[in-house]
Structure formats: structure tokens, C-alpha cells
Chain A
């Protein structure tokens, strides 16, 4: 019997072959955290260890509330800054034009590498699976313990195999595919499992599209989500690798899976996740015409250059009917969109463009919702009240669908925009 990706990656880290459901203790290759670094450092100090086991393995990227929207946020930032300095830890991304959303910046700067183990004190750490990394979200206490000991206990997960064949039709996005998958698997359907994306449909996707898929693995409960690293991934990381100890790993053809699902990408249509759960899927036809108050394009899910360009292609030469907030996922992306004219197109259409960061995705700032308001968002979560008032409503959709909806002020099929 062959091995799954998770069995191979955790076996490599453990130094011996492992199988699903074993518990192993492994040393993480990188540990990523954000604004919660301050509280983690306090817990770390309680353990009684003075030095982080390997300070060069910490990657701290402030993104949740940048620049600080309140003094509480500022205190968290300050603590993170001081801790990284005190530990002589080199990988600190402060509030600056060299930063971005952690799950964008981390791969952008070559920390997401095939076959490595990454833990992050953020649930969307699973994004790095797009690079063939075994990457999983953990809590703060656990992160403090990993900093102190250089180890983390992980149960080798069982795996789910999702095979996608063919190609998406015009106007249809990777986001539409993953929303459909989550609607089928449900929000706990891959709980504690490793989700592997297979098939020529995935090979045909860009690295950015694969990041969108892996990013949303957690929305079906997954421990990690992963695509096979190929030439596109190698080109992406080429020359930026922050470690040399990586290796391309992939599942054997005869690996054992807890569940297998197959999709023909040609059959995927634009879709949304209706309020208030990510698995509340509906094809666009069922929700078309619903009035909206705000559109949000951005985040670690869909704030990359191809996402902004897809939105701009729809908005070009037209005017939005509702307030439309665009947040590039990093300053690199911001500059790219500035250089190629994408930002001008969006501004000409009436969108506002905010500084890179998580923005209104978690309701902290830059576009909170009032009671009764409806937002169509390219983010990853639509939990009740997540973007503001508890009587507000979030529909998750692709950047194309959000842009098409911005034009009409109602949920709109991007194929008709």
C-alpha cells in the first residue's frame, strides 16, 4: 500500500515511515504568526525558556489590523516588535511597504517550500499547500510551546482525494470550484484530514488559483490541503528559497483515502456561499438579483494580481453601483496592479483601494457592515457578524462575481456582466 502526501511529509519530518492515525512529534521548518505574536510571546515566557529554539525559523507578519486601528492592536504590535528584536529573530514584517497578508507574504518571500512542515497560529496557514508544503493552523499556546521546544505533536491525518479534470469555462473561477466542493463535503467533512487536490484540472491552474483552493481547506475542517508541486511552483520559488532542506513529495498512486471525490471543472458554474456558513453553497442562478450594499475584493483567498485583474476586466470603463473595497493581499501585488494600470481601472470605476492587510475580512476595520447590510465578498468566511453587525449578511464569491455584482448593486452572474 502506497503513502499519502501527509504520510510522506510527516514521515520525512519524523525520520521514519509513518501511517495515518499515528501521533508523531516533529520539528517545524517555519512557524508563522501575525498580530497574535505578542500574546504568544507572553505564554512563551511562562514556560521558563529564554531563547526561541531557532529564531530564524520564526516568521512574524503583522496583518490583522494594520496600521493599528486601536491602541489594543498597537500594544500587540509593539510586543511582537520587541520580542522579535529581543530574540534576534530576522524574519519580522512590520507595518511597511514590504509586507502584506501573512499567507500571501510568506510564500511570496520563499518560505513556503515543498515537503516542509509549517505551523501557523492562524487557521488559514493551510494556504501553503499550494506549494506542496505540509502547512497547518494551530493555537497560540501550541505556538509558544513549539518556539520553546522546537517540536509539535501531530496526528498523521487520514486523507481525502479530490480529483479535478478539464478546465474552468470563461467567467468561472477556482473560487467557484472550491465553494462547490465545500458545499458537497460540508464544513466538517474533512475534519482532521489532509485534503489532496489531484488531476489535470489542478495542473492547469495557476499557483494563485491553487492557493485559493488550499486556503479554503480549513472551511471543510481540513488539517492541511495540498496540490502537487510542479514547474509552476518551482518557477515561483526559484531563487527565493529561505531554506535548502526541501524536497518534492507527492502521494503514491495506490495510497489509501478515507474519501474520494471527482469533479469535471467544465461543469462548474459561478456560485456563492450564502450566509452564515461557508458550506451553504448555491449556484449563482439561485441567488441572482439579491440586493447588496457592499463589495469586498481582497484577502489571502482572492487578493492576488490575477484576482484584481479579473475584477478590473469586468469593471473597465464602467461604474460601481455600491461601495466597493479593494485590498491587494501584499504591497508587491499593490505595486504590480499600480504598474499595469489595474488600480487605475478600479479607481476609475469608483472602487476604493486600501492598504494591504486583512482589512474588513474579520470586521476589524476598513469596511464593517451596519445592521441589515449585505456584502458580497471574495474572502473565505461568512460567519454571522464576521464583518460587523450580527444582523449583517455575507455572500462569498469569486472576484469576478463580486465585480459583476458591484456594477449592478445586486448579486450578478459574471458571465452576463
Chain B
């Protein structure tokens, strides 16, 4: 868990809604592996995201990331593209639950929205992120940030790899006990 993740930053504004992350035009798609090709197609200036994203790159956003629809495509399309974690000041409730339930981490980072607006963290910056303690370093700008911890239940679900594996492991434990 002490591992340091390294990758480039893709920086987004506040209030990135689910249609900007994954447009409703592609909702009928149900295979998560086919979803990354549509990521951020509707976000102005990030039309190249799907083509240029490299596994390990980070999505960095301001407040209220993932507001709007409950579509889980908006989590899958980033997870399947190899984005290891979303760094956002805050994120919408449903988006956050969808992320946790798929074992996909979101770090809540205080001050990130202002830092993005002030250009302290920019597209293409090299980032180092330690998930275990929430420390984030922008190697390019020299700025550091701190992500929040999550609740025990959320951590357990994420550690199991998501809600489905979590339930399966509980079920197995229950079968053993019983």
C-alpha cells in the first residue's frame, strides 16, 4: 500500500457532469472495456483524452466531480482507461458511491479547485500520489496536496476490490461460520 503512483495530470474544472465524462449517447453500451473510447468526448479541450490517455495518468478535478446521472459508465470509462485514482476537491454522492462500489479510489483534496484555477496544477504536470496516506506531489510545479481518509466500511469495500467481491468474500466467510 505504500507504493507511489506516478503519472501525468489531466486537469478539469468544477462541476464536471456525467454527460461530460461519458455522454448519454453511448449509454446503451454495457461492456466496460469499450467505454474508455468515449471518455470526455464532450468536455471542451479534452476531446483528445480518450486517444492520448496513458495507463497511470490521473484525472484531477475541482468541486462536484461527476454530478448528474447515476450512470456507472462514468466510473468504468476512467477505470478501464487505467486512471488509477481520481483526485477531486469533492465529488457528487452517487459518483462517489459508484466509485467505491467498484473498488475505484477517489481522493478528496482540499484546495484543489482553487489550485486548478490558479494554475498550480496543470495539464501534463507529473504527479506522485501515495494512496495509503493521501499525499500528492506535483513534481512539475513543486506544489503538494493532501487527500482525505475514507470511512472504514468504504475502505473495506475498496480493499476487497469493490462491492461485488466484498459481498462474495462476506458470503464465503458466512458459509464457513455457518
Contacts and interface: CB of A to CB of B under 8 A. Distances in A.
Verify that A and B bind, or say they do not: yes
Contacts of B68: 123, 218, 381, 383
A192 interface: yes
Interface residues of B, number: 40
A141 B30 contact: no
Contacts of B24: 362-364, 386
Interface in A163-212: 187-188, 191-192
B114 interface: no
Interface in B20-49: 20, 23-25, 27-30, 41-42, 44
Contacts of A149: 167
B30 A137 contact: no
Interface residues of A, number: 46
Contacts of B20: 383-384
Given A23-B153, A192-B93, A384-B19, A141 B163 contact: yes
A384 B63 CA distance: 18
B117 interface: no
Nearest to A364: B24
B70 A121 contact: yes
A212 to B, nearest CB: 18
Residue from B18, B19, B23, B151 whose CB has the most chain A CB atoms within 10 Å: B19
29 contacts: A23-B153, A39-B30, A43-B164, A72-B29, A121-B70, A123-B70, A123-B94, A139-B70, A139-B71, A139-B98, A139-B101, A141-B98, A141-B101, A141-B162, A142-B97, A142-B101, A142-B163, A144-B164, A188-B15, A188-B67, A188-B90, A218-B68, A362-B27, A363-B24, A381-B17, A381-B19, A381-B68, A383-B20, A385-B42
Given A23-B151, A65-B28, A218-B68, 20 more contacts: A39-B30, A73-B28, A137-B70, A137-B94, A138-B94, A139-B97, A141-B163, A142-B97, A142-B98, A145-B164, A188-B15, A191-B90, A221-B67, A223-B93, A364-B25, A364-B27, A383-B19, A383-B20, A383-B68, A384-B20
